[in-house]
Amino acid sequence: MRIDVLVVEIGSTTTVVNAFNGIYSLNPAFVGQGQAPTTVLEGDVKIGLKGAIESLRQNIGASEIEYDELLATSSAAGGLRMTVHGLVYDMTVRAAKEAALGAGANIHQITAGRLRKSDLKKLVAIKPNIILIAGGVDYGERDTAIYNAELIAELGLGIPVIYAGNIENHDDIRDIFEGTGTRLYIVENVYPKIDQLNIEPTRKVIQEVFEEHITNAPGMKKMREMVTGNIIPTPGAVMIASKLLYDEIGDLITIDVGGATTDVHSVTEGSDEVNRMLISPEPLAKRTVEGDLGVYVNMKNVVERVGVEKLCNNLEIDEETLNTLINNYKPIPETELEKRLVEELTLEAVITAVKRHCGRFRHLYGPSGKKTIAEGKDLTNVKYIVGTGGALTKLPNRIEILRKIALSNKGDELLPTKEARILIDNNYIMASLGVLSKKYPDTAIKLLKESLEIN
């Protein structure tokens, strides 16, 4: 069978292939999906890719698979590891963090102010894929970013560095890294003025640097030679798809519950009322990743959050039965009881992750009485809640789980309302469509709306 485009998602444990036909027509189609264990660490990612294609062939009943184009996303080998170094945490550091997360990065270190010896020691141990240096509004404080750049340059790590700080430092930063063997990228300031975010230029460069240097991961050089288009971080692809969908239907959040993490992507300006009360700016598109909230690798963390007694009551089982379930836990639940357990864990992961992502009202008291302010991301204007990822696309009660987000509001949280519509990525192709949209945006949005069952 001839396939127009295959999109491969190379995860840390599983490689998934999605097939699409009619890419150039008015009626594109999702053909099917295959998956196999990832083989990045074995030194040849093509082994896992071939296994996933063979799985696809069997699933669609084809005698063989041929394809015209191959696109890819990757979160293998730890995904995109970054460290972020700025001046003041609530200003430039926060802006740099938003840019990195929105691009699909996993941030392993954040520092504010001048780097200490202990910070440098941690940075070396992390071995990030990219180092992001920021600090100072344009024509403001200069010395901290220069000081940090000098210390990082002296380490001689050979890791790509992005500078997104005070525009006055550009020449100094170039001089610092000249002759060090470090690939330097200078972009617009992520925080050019007080209360002004400018994170999109940095996001774009982060994804470009990731693709350029992904061949350093074991076995990925051969994949780069096979891929005909972009390779981008898988979480970044979900964000791209979310922004594409926002342009079509309006304010939304996308929730991706995985085995190790739960990611929340919001694309919303928020309400005018709350915006007038905000004490600091928020980006249009925001991503948070909760590394302790996963329903497989980090399952025991979520069990502890819910509590054994509550789980037993909700599942109507005794503690011994629950312990047996936990000790024999599988990545894909099979029995009805196993699915109910995963649903309980997914509900906890969803509610916790969205509450960490959203902002809230605060009340201040002074001589003139009580004043209400808002801080963080306002989700009250969200019209759609999108569920993607293995758990939220497969579990029987996935829609009921997402409906409980609004019901969990204690009154001071800027959560979506009960009027928000629930959408499910039924074909589990949102990340694939994010990378597909880089070349075929119209096709991607049609396929995405079909998977979400949007007329």
- CA distances in angstroms from 446 to 69, 256, 262, 267, 443, listed in the order given: 19, 21, 26, 19, 5
The one-character DSSP state at 61 is T
What token pair was written down for 201? 């230029």
In this predicted model, what pLDDT tens digit does every residue of 348-367 receive, in sequence order?
A: 999 999 999 999 999 888 88
Q: What is the mean pLDDT of residues 129-143?
A: 95
What's the CA gap between 399 and 379, in Å, rounded? 19
Residues in CB range of 159: below 8 A, 6 or more apart: 127, 128, 129, 130, 131, 182
pLDDT bracket for residue 122 (50, 70, 90): very high
- CA distances in angstroms from 45 to 11, 41, 70, 224, listed in the order given: 11, 8, 14, 10
Indicate if the pLDDT at residue 287 is higher than 80: yes
pLDDT bracket for residue 42 (50, 70, 90): low
The one-character DSSP state at 68 is E
In this predicted model, what pLDDT tens digit does every residue of 230-283 receive, in sequence order?
A: 788 888 899 999 999 999 999 999 999 988 889 999 999 999 999 999 988 899
Residues in CB range of 196: below 8 A, 6 or more apart: 281
Fold of 2-77+217-229: Nucleotidyltransferase; domain 5 (3.30.420)
Instruction: Please give the pLDDT value at position 192.
Output: 95
Indicate if the pLDDT at residue 385 is higher than 80: yes
Q: What is the mean pLDDT of residues 407-412?
A: 90
Indicate if the pLDDT at residue 451 is higher than 80: yes
- CA distances in angstroms from 21 to 68, 260, 292, 426, listed in the order given: 10, 32, 38, 18
pLDDT bracket for residue 81 (50, 70, 90): confident
Indicate if the pLDDT at residue 219 is higher than 80: no
Quick check: 147 and 140 in contact, CB under 8 A?
Answer: no
pLDDT bracket for residue 217 (50, 70, 90): low
The one-character DSSP state at 116 is P
Residues in CB range of 73: below 8 A, 6 or more apart: 7, 8, 9, 10, 231, 232, 233, 234, 236, 237, 431, 432, 434, 435
Question: Which has more confidence, 221 or 163?
Answer: 163
What token pair was written down for 202? 């940095």
Instruction: Please give the pLDDT value at position 408.
Output: 93
Residue 347, phi then psi, degrees to nearest 5: -60, -45
Q: Give the least confident one: 220-229, 407-416, 437-446.
A: 220-229
Assess whether the region 2-77+217-229 and the region 248-426 belong to the same CATH fold: yes
What's the CA gap between 9 and 435, in Å, rounded? 10
Indicate if the pLDDT at residue 224 is higher than 80: no
Q: Taking each helix axis as running N to C, give the angle between helix 308-315 and helix 336-357, from 0 to 180 degrees, rounded to the nearest 10.
A: 130
Instruction: Please give the pLDDT value at position 188.
Output: 96
Q: Give the least confident one: 60-64, 293-297, 392-396, 415-419.
A: 293-297
Architecture, CATH, for domain 80-214: 3-Layer(aba) Sandwich (3.40)
Q: What is the mean pLDDT of residues 328-347?
A: 91
What's the CA gap between 388 and 435, in Å, rounded? 15
Largest separation between any pair of C-alpha atoms in the chain:
78
Domain assignments of the chain as residue spans, ordered by start? 2-77+217-229, 80-214, 248-426
Partner residues linked to 67 by β-bridges: 3
Fold of 248-426: Nucleotidyltransferase; domain 5 (3.30.420)
Indicate if the pLDDT at residue 105 is higher than 70: yes
In this predicted model, what pLDDT tens digit does every residue of 298-334 receive, in sequence order?
A: 889 999 999 999 999 999 999 999 999 999 888 778 8
Indicate if the pLDDT at residue 218 is higher than 70: no
**How many CB atoms within 10 Å of residue 393?**
19
